[in-house]
Chain A
């Protein structure tokens, strides 16, 4: 994060960059390519195809805790809409127009490499991997924090906070947690 910026400001800048960056790249490639109608239609179809494909990928990633996105507004199923559109422009029109100079394997390889290299550095926009409150291993901090987050989930729900929702889901999925429920029985808060 850039020094002097608050988390919300840095998050807003990241989201804006993820939308504007691919749009500018697509615009530059259009000016450089001067596409024929056939190519323009291909780019549009690629964009429209990427929208459901990337949403599905995001839902899978959320389910398997590969990554989650931060943010509270302009979200669809935990996916920021601006990031979704920018992502679809990158993998759609930008890839189609770049195909003039680079082959499909090179484009896919480069894009995957860029994704993998940048995603771990994009906090608070992207949180990768399991992630616990302190480091990559579960610690006493997670146990201490589980009760207030359980209470927040029971009282107001965590739908707007996918990272916390993922974290609580991982707590619930632990064998030790399940064993405790088996021994002590189901419980519910605030009922």
Chain B
């Protein structure tokens, strides 16, 4: 898998570099960490029998949001807006309780919203 990409492959074969110094990425990551902390504090006192629930409903979306926040900045406005809305959605999902599966099912709507917002900004 680590050989060069074949001719015509649309993505480059250079390693992905996290955008540690990008201001907006840092803001998104800080929001994700803050949401995680608020989510955990909201479940205080944490009991051992609830750690799986915290791992699934707070740690997992938090980890995904953090990784996505520092992922290489997309080259298109639609990609940038979709990334930011996805991170915000992951933060919101920590507080969605049993509506989290509904949010997951509605993810295509979020991507559609990213396209609409990007087009509105173009015009």
Contacts and interface: CB of A to CB of B under 8 A. Distances in A.
B55 A9 contact: no
Interface of B: 1-2, 5, 9, 11-16, 47-56, 59-60, 63, 67
Interface residues of A: mostly helix, strand, loop or mixed?
helix
27 contacts: A6-B49, A9-B47, A9-B49, A11-B49, A12-B53, A13-B51, A14-B52, A15-B52, A15-B55, A15-B56, A16-B51, A19-B59, A23-B60, A33-B2, A34-B15, A35-B15, A36-B11, A36-B12, A36-B14, A37-B11, A37-B12, A39-B1, A41-B11, A73-B53, A74-B52, A74-B56, A82-B52
The 5 closest A-B pairs by CB, nearest first: A15-B52, A37-B11, A34-B15, A16-B55, A9-B48
A34 B1 CA distance: 12
A96 interface: yes
Report, as a range, how many residues of chain A touch the other chain. 20 to 34
A163 interface: no
Given A13-B52, A38-B11, A80-B52, 9 more contacts: A12-B52, A12-B53, A15-B55, A19-B60, A37-B12, A74-B53, A82-B55, A82-B56, A85-B56
Interface in A78-136: 80-82, 85, 96, 99-100
A100 B12 CA distance: 18
Contact of A38 (B5, B50, B55, B63): B5
Nearest to A39: B1
Nearest to A97: B1
Contact of B9 (A11, A38, A99): A38
